[in-house]
Structure 1
Amino acid sequence: MVVLAALALLVSGCATGGTGARDEGPAHSDSVAGVAEAKSPSPSATVDDHVDAVKLVMNDPKVSSAVKHELKPCVADEYAVDVSYGMLTGGTANDVVVNVMTCGDAVGIGSYVYRATGGTYENVFKAEEPPVYAEIDRGDLVVTKQVYEKGDPVSSPSGENVITYRWTSGRFAQEYSTHNEYSNAVGGDASPAPSKN
């Protein structure tokens, strides 16, 4: 009888709003923060991700004079330059990807990768066959080149070549290459389909 009463008391105590581990609340954030601070910071967190991309390109002897000639302010002191930061070459600091475009139609005329070495940036990749655009994708360099057929307007290329490069033995080596053809039906360029009655 005493055993049954004790058992009933134990079961009722568990059933009256007890939520097990949830009653303890979340883990203390200060203990988690202490562990995070003890780790050495990642390279991407320690680098000042802000370079003067225009100055970098203009002072680079590997950049063609044609690209430098086109690199002008579009409005006031705004340039048509896209900049991305990320780990591409396995260094201790973020690499910088710079895309130079035309002001009017934003056609890529040059793509470059700069590697941080000894406080300066070294040009380790360039593509200057427009239209071209480079970006970082999961640690790889992906370069897209639009393909135009005769009569294609700048806004409607016929397709694109996408080339993936990986940093190997101190240089970028081509890993993959794909070709995509665009449908001419997109954007209303094709003749409308006949209606069904």
Structure 2
Amino acid sequence: MRGLTGTGTTRAAMTVTAVLAAAVLFVAGCGTGGTGTRDEGPAHADPVASPATPTSSPSRPPDRVDAVRLIKADPEVSTEVKRELEPCVADEYPVDVSYGSLTGGSVDDVVVNVLTCGDAVGVGSYVYRDQGGAYVNVFAAEEPPVYAEIDRGDLVVTKQVYDRGDPVSSPSGENVITYRWAAGRFAEKYRTHNDYGQVTGAQPAPAPAG
């Protein structure tokens, strides 16, 4: 009988001890900084997958283009423009080159402006589009003075206007034409005309009579 009683007493003592230990651990966990079980380690050990986000595929910039070779090899460029395309100093040619997305291709388009050496008048503006790894002429304007630029995905061409007697350095105004790529070609969307003000020889207005 003593053996049974001793066993029962031992089990009861062990149960009470376990309950007290659990209570102490719980109180200790709740009392460390008020953060509960977070003080025992990170709440999530496994990485959480972030929601998938859509990725866009913008056109990538092309490698540096040899604009002079491109212009001279282009049968769409007039003989007059090719004749103007000569070095101004050493091996520096009068060309402006810019890259940007105009036609929605996978590679940025190339805009080339050919200028004169002396007064930097634009004699030709061209747009080249990558097609199968080769650049194809998709736009040309050769009525000088002319200059083409990329503006927020549109092609903007500025043509200066001269009245009779205007020197090359002083045009009377300009036409600004905006083109947009549609159905495989550039179509005119907007056209504005700006007159340059004549600031020389202006006389002050007379004061009103009292």
TM-score over 0.5 (shorter chain): yes
Could you tell me which runs of 5 or more consecutive residues in structure 2 were left unpaired when the two chains were aligned: 1-51
TM-score (norm 2): 0.70
Q: CA RMSD in A?
A: 2.0
Deviation of 1:195 after TM superposition, in Å, equals 8.5
Alignment partner for residue 85 of structure 1, among 99, 105, 128?
A: 99
AA at the equivalent of 1:42: P
Residue in 1 that maps onto 2:34: none
Indicate yes or no: 2:147 matched with 1:133.
yes
Q: TM-score normalised to the size of structure 1?
A: 0.74
Q: Tell me by how many angstroms 1:196 deviates.
A: 7.3
Q: From the two aligned structures, give the one with the greater strand fraction.
A: 1
Instruction: Give the CA deviation at 1:161.
Output: 0.3
Q: Give a deviation string over 1:37-62, Cα, whole Å, max 9, x none.
A: x9566323xx3341000000000000
Amino acid of the residue matched to residue 148 of structure 1? Y
The Cα offsets for residues 103-142 of structure 1, whole Å up to 9 and x where unpaired, read as: 0000000000000111110000000000000000010000
Please state how far the C-alpha of 1:96 moved relative to its aligned partner. 0.3
User: How far does residue 71 in structure 1 lie from its aligned partner after superposition?
Assistant: 0.3
Map of 2:59 onto structure 1: 43
Residue by residue over 1:3-28, the C-alpha shift from the partner in whole angstroms, topping out at 9 and shown as x without a partner, is xxxxxxxxxxxxxxxxxxxxxxxxxx
1:161 aligns with: 175
Q: Which runs of 4+ in 1 moved over 6 A?
A: none
Alignment check: 8 A CA contact 2:59 2:104 kept:
no
**Cα separation, partners in 2 of 1:114 and 1:157, compared to 1, 3 Å:** same
Is 56-65 or 148-157 further displaced after alignment?
Answer: 148-157
Q: Distance in 2 between matches of 1:184 and 1:90?
A: 42
Aligned residue number for residue 5 of structure 1? none
Tell me the equivalent position of 1:18: none
Question: Distance between the aligned counterparts of 1:168 and 1:48, measured in 2?
Answer: 22
Within the candidate set 195, 201, 204, 1:191 is matched to: 201
* Structure 1 residue 193: Cα displacement: 2.2
Question: Could you tell me which residue of structure 2 aligns to residue 27 of structure 1?
Answer: none
Matched, 1:182 2:196: yes
* SS class of match (2:88): strand
The higher radius of gyration belongs to 2
* Residue 94, structure 1, aligned to residue 108, structure 2: yes
User: 8 Å contact 1:112–1:126 — kept in the other structure?
Assistant: yes
Partner of 1:171: 185
Amino acid at match of 1:191: G
Indicate the residue corresponding to 2:5 in structure 1: none
**Which amino acid counterpart does residue 127 of structure 1 have in structure 2?**
A
Greater mean alpha carbon deviation, residues 171-180 or residues 48-57: 48-57
Cα offset, 1:154, TM superposition: 1.2
Answer whether contact 2:84 2:116 (CA < 8 A) is retained: yes
Q: Which residue of 1 aligns with 2:25?
A: none
Equivalenced residue count is: 156
